[in-house]
A = this chain, B = another copy of it.
């Protein structure tokens, strides 16, 4: 049976460093505060928001929520967003995405102050992640995967990493983060011909496809470390991209069906906020 990589353990491991960073900031009279910008009230946004509020309260970090109606027009939203972005009381800004189509997400991504862009959506941060420049911010979920692996103590150098999914928030940035740590990375997606075969050759398999329980025993080998990023609904229940019950007995390490990557993402967000508060990096 595989060793289980629990997100709560990883988050607990990060807590001490976060509290010590926070203490240093408070000694300098900085009260780090995250601005959370939400348009509408989608269920998954609200679930993530609750997770953030819980984590930040536990750590003693401030948050401010800015909620806007889905009916807001693009010009008004850009104006409001710019005001929030410019506020000297907020060191980091998290915008829930995707935005409603009429709100022109690209203009917002280009407008955000890169030094407050703690979820790595601005072109400057994207370019830094691409270039392997650790000064930038990568999307929190992709960094959470790196934190989970770091917690296991596995050296990524020379490891064959296969990522299923090529999204801008996980697959692509994670491929870069892994490459920058000297892993050999393959990205599979829905047009890949032989996904199970490619995955069987992985030392580390990251499932970020958004397809309920698509990773079956055919995708793994006895030595594989499996990281499940997916959160899906199936038959009225939450589940990951990995068929956990079938796969867990076959591999060397695995994240749980729930309480894996997701439980670490909010800690990464806190880490990014403290980094932003500690120094503007531009």
Per-position contact with B for A143-172: 1 when CB-CB < 8 Å, else 0? 000000000000001111000001010001
* A102 located at the interface, meaning its Cβ lies under 8 Å from any Cβ of chain B in the complex: no
Q: What chain B residues lie within 8 Å of A193 (beta carbons)?
A: 158-160, 184
- CA–CA, A87 and B250, complex, Å: 63
Interface residues in chain A, defined as those with a beta carbon under 8 Å from any beta carbon in chain B: 110, 123-124, 126-128, 130-131, 157-160, 166, 168, 172, 175-176, 179, 182, 184-189, 191-194, 198
Among A186, A189, A198, max chain B CB count under 10 A is at: A186
CB distance from A186 to the nearest CB of B (A): 4
Please name all residues of chain B whose beta carbon is closer than 8 Å to the beta carbon of A185 when the two chains form the complex: 186-187
> How many copies of the chain does the oligomer comprise?
2
Residues of chain B with a CB closer than 8 A to A160's CB: 193-194, 198
CB-defined A-B contacts under 8 Å, sample of 20: A110-B124, A123-B123, A124-B127, A126-B127, A126-B131, A130-B172, A158-B192, A160-B194, A166-B179, A172-B176, A179-B189, A182-B189, A182-B191, A184-B187, A184-B189, A184-B191, A184-B192, A184-B193, A184-B198, A185-B186
Q: Contacts A123-B123, A157-B191, A192-B158; is A131 near B168 (CB within 8 Å)? A: yes
Please, which residue of chain B has its CB at the minimum distance from the CB of A182? Answer: B191
| Distance from A241 Cβ to chain B, minimum over Cβ atoms (Å) | 18
A157 → chain B closest CB, angstroms: 5
Q: Which B residues lie within 8 Å of A166 (CB)?
A: 179
Which residue of B158, B189, B192 contacts A191 across the interface (Cβ within 8 Å)? Answer: B158
What residues of B have a CB within 8 angstroms of the CB of A159 in the complex? 193
